[in-house]
């Protein structure tokens, strides 16, 4: 069949709008590919950290949670060594701005002291926790953040890091 005849069969779609369809599809495809590359890059970095420190990550379900949540990894001194790229959408901070800092950088005057105390207690006891906390974005806006934190142990059973899965509530 002649492509021109096929094109003429679209009575309800003008020629100009029909021609714009591929551009719209490309925009969608490009955004999807960008998200996929970001996901794979984040996952690769986390896997490298896990391999380097010989984590027992069997129960963390990192690849599934990385799709929907921000992932933060801290060392034992509570310094951020990894933040997934989605941190920017949630907080306004780029990955490079949070690395080396404490998660305290997201807290402010209205952050609940009681909730912070409960989180510190869970970290001290090396227990998993789930808390909702009032955090601050880079521009000063507040948001409720659901944090699910876990101690991460290496294959010898020694505490290695802490990992948090976070999302705005």
Rounded to the nearest integer, the mean pLDDT of the chain is 87
Instruction: Please say if the pLDDT value at position 5 is more than 60.
Output: no
Q: Give the domain 28-168 fold.
A: Beta-Lactamase (3.30.450)
Query: What pLDDT is stored for residue 12 in this prediction?
Result: 47
Confidence of residue 30 (pLDDT cuts 50, 70, 90): low
Instruction: Please say if the pLDDT value at position 6 is more than 50.
Output: no
- The answer to whether residues 51 and 57 touch, using CB atoms and an 8 Å cutoff, is no
Instruction: Give me the sign of the Cα torsion angle 81, 84, 88, 94.
Output: positive
Confidence of residue 145 (pLDDT cuts 50, 70, 90): very high
Tell which wins on pLDDT, 20 or 35.
35
Instruction: Please say if the pLDDT value at position 3 is more than 60.
Output: no
For the residues 19-39, what does the mean pLDDT come to? 69
Contacts of residue 119, defined as CB under 8 A and 6 or more positions apart, other chains included, come to 129, 131, 133, 147, 149
Tell which wins on pLDDT, 57 or 86.
86
Give CA–CA dist 89/135, Å, rounded.
14
With a pLDDT cut of 70, the percent of the chain lying above it is 82
Give CA–CA dist 94/116, Å, rounded.
24
Which has the minimum average pLDDT: 1-5, 62-66, 144-148?
1-5
């Amino acid at each position: 069949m002649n492509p021109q005849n096929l094109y003429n069969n679209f009575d309800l779609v003008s020629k100009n709008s029909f021609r714009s369809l591929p551009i719209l599809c490309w925009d969608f495809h490009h955004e999807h590919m960008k998200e996929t590359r970001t996901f794979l890059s984040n996952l690769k970095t986390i896997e490298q950290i896990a391999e380097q420190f010989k984590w027992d990550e069997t129960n963390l379900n990192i690849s599934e949670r990385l799709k929907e949540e921000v992932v933060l990894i801290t060392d034992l001194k509570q310094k951020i060594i990894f933040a997934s790229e989605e941190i920017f959408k949630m907080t306004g901070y780029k990955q490079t701005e949070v690395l080396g800092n404490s998660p305290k950088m997201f807290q402010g005057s209205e952050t609940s002291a009681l909730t912070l105390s409960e989180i510190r207690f869970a970290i001290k006891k090396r227990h998993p926790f789930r808390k909702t906390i009032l955090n601050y974005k880079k521009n000063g806006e507040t948001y409720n953040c659901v944090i699910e934190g876990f101690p991460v142990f290496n294959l010898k059973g020694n505490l290695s890091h802490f990992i948090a899965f976070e999302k705005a509530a």
